Amino acid sequence: MENHQVQIKKTGKMEMGMQNREKIGSKRKLQQIYDIGYFEINRNLKKTLILMIISTVMFILFVIGEEYRLGKGAELPEEPADFALRFIMMIGSLVLISATSYGGSIIVVDFEKLTGNILFPKISRERLFVGRFLANYLMNAFVILFYYILVAFIVFIKYTGIPKILWTSLGWALLYVLLILSFTILFSSFMKSTAGAVVFSLALNMIAFSIIQSILSLISSIEPLFSLPYYATIITGCFNMPEGDRFQTIPIIEGFEMTLWITPSPQGALIGTAILSFVFLLSAYLIFRNRQNK
């Protein structure tokens, strides 16, 4: 018993430390989200650098292509927006690559590597989840913004002005980032490996959705708002708005035609992205929580 009393005296110093601790409350919760995000950004710096290199290479290839065309006698488009559009034709693919590589590891990496960050997290799993999501979204957005800045730069050189529609397109691209990132996080919540989450997410986006969308266009005129790649079309489709058609009807055989949807409306894209992202993220969180409890 004497032992215990001695130890109690010794813990006096520890309790002094406890009193100096930051107070619990909203400020500390936000601080924790910020700390997790900051750590996550630092941890993924290499990935961000690689994706920026990929963006730069993609941009350089487009520049070479454009310069080749001009060298062959083709003329520079009259409108700077038309010139800018040529550089962002492939932006959907860049978003897909970057969002899957960021989102793929967000949850599964800790189960895969058995880090204590998930099993016995230092903070509530909600804050851990939000912090990681925000950090990965910001890094992803930064990569896309970087690409748009390169495009803006070349447009500025050629035309001494940057069309506003380029920034509208950037806004849609960032919204598409949110959608793909949320979708990949859903896979990350239940897959066994990061590679699995990335591959499945890529395969569904590049193959499965396109197949379903094509089949649906043959049998129905329903707008494919369920299909994630469809939302990428507004990134370039916005250049033709509000005049451009949103769909085309193509006759195949007599009495039978298919409806080819070109791009969603701004309202449809906004609402669709918001609903789908919310559903994906909420499902991912619930699966993650359930998985952690096992």
Partner 1 sequence: MDSKPEIIIELKNLTKKFKFVTAVNDLNLEIYKGEILGFLGPNGAGKTTSMKLMASLLKPTEGEIFIRENGKLQKLTSHNKDYLLDNIGFLIENPEFYKDNTPRQLLTLFAKLKGYPRDKINDRVAEIIHMVDLSQWIDQKLGTFSKGMRQKIGILSALVHDPVILVLDEPQTGLDPKARREIRDLLLQLKNQGKTIFLSSHLLYEIAEIADRVAIISHGILVACDTLENLEAQSKSSHIQVELLNMNDINETGMQIDKLIQSFLTEPIRYNKDSRVFELPFDGDPEKQYKILQVLIQNGMKIIDFTVSKADLLESLYLQHISQSDKTYKEFQKKAIKVENII
Residues within the interface to partner 1 (CB under 8 A): 1, 3-15, 17-18, 20-24, 28-29, 31-32, 35-36, 39, 42-43, 46, 113-116, 119-125, 292-293
- Min dist CB 259 to partner 1, Å, is 47
Three-state secondary structure along 123-167?
A: CCHHHHHHHHHHHHHHHHHHHHHHHHHHHHHHHHHHHCCCCHHHH
Is the CB of 86 or the CB of 291 nearer to partner 1? 291
Smallest gap from residue 193 Cβ to partner 1 (A): 15
Kindly state the tokens that stand for 66. 């454009």
Residue 122, burial from CB neighbour count under 10 angstroms (0-12, 13-18, 19+): exposed
Residue 99 C-beta: closest distance to partner 1, Å: 21
> Shortest gap between Cβ of 48 and partner 1 (angstroms)?
13
8 or 211: CB nearest partner 1: 8
The residues near 38 (Cβ < 8 Å, ≥ 6 apart) are: 135
CA angle in degrees (0–180, nearest 5) for 222-227-228: 145
If the CB atoms of residues 5 and 160 are measured against partner 1, the closer one turns out to be 5
Write out the two tokens for 204. 């569904």
Nearer to partner 1, 30 or 76 (CB): 30
Kindly give the interhelix angle for 266-293 and 228-237, rounded to the nearest 10 degrees.
140
* Cis amide bond preceding 77, omega within 30: no
Tallying the residues shown for the chain, one arrives at: 294
Shortest approach of partner 1 to residue 43 CB, angstroms? 6
Nearer to partner 1, 20 or 267 (CB): 20
